[in-house]
Amino acid sequence: MGNMMSDRKEPAKTKLLPPVPNETVEHPYRTHIMPRNQTLRRLLAGIPGLSKDADRIAPTKVSLVVRGIAESISLKEGQVALLGRADFRSGGFQPDVDLTAYGAQERGVSRAHARLHLEEGQLYITDLYSANGTRIRGERLEPEQPYMLNHNDEFQLGALFIRVTFE
């Protein structure tokens, strides 16, 4: 009878185990819960100490200055932004950055002209076999060949000049 008593476990000890501290991973600012939208970008931009360092690491906010007007886009590592012009006739094609308002069609910008992407903290532009080409400093880019862009570089999509700045 003494053996049977020692084999029984007390329920309180097995049920009420304290949580393992390393099991719960705390996410700073809980960004994983929030929807990815402008509000989140504004919140992240306002975090003290983060935005200054983030700017040095990678150009996450890119401004394309087209005919004196700045179009801002936010890019994350590995993310791609398609530059071109909308075409509502052929199934409603819509690029990430629509240059129609800047006379894109008259200046020879293709629907899917070029793409910008961020890789290892560097911004690249790639021509997508556009009809009138993409140029940096007058040099026509080879299609599907990424070229690195620096702050204040100017490039051409057809005859449309665009200056890129990092914020």
pLDDT at 2: 52
The mean per-residue pLDDT over the stretch 43-49 comes to: 44
- Report pLDDT for 143: 97
Query: How many separate helices (H) and strands (E) can be counted in the chain?
Result: 4, 11
- Tens of pLDDT, residue by residue over 110-151, are 999 999 999 888 999 999 999 999 999 899 999 999 999 999
* Structure confidence at residue 30 (pLDDT): 39
HSE toward the beta carbon, residue 158, CA cutoff 13 A: 21
Residue 34 has a pLDDT of 42
Task: Give the pLDDT band of residue 17 (cuts 50, 70, 90).
Answer: low
In the chain, % helix, strand, coil (3-state, to 5) comes to 20, 30, 45
Give the global pTM. 0.64
CA atoms within 13 A on the CB side of 97: 25
In SS3 terms, 91-115 reads as: CCECCCEECHHHCCCCCCCCCEEEE
Q: What is the pLDDT of residue 167?
A: 78
The arithmetic mean of pLDDT across residues 46-67, rounded, is: 61
Q: What is the CATH class of 56-166?
A: mainly beta
- What is the pLDDT at residue 150? 93
Q: Residue 10 — pLDDT band, cuts 50, 70, 90? A: low
Q: Using one digit for the tens of pLDDT, what is the confidence trace for 77-89? A: 888 999 999 988 8
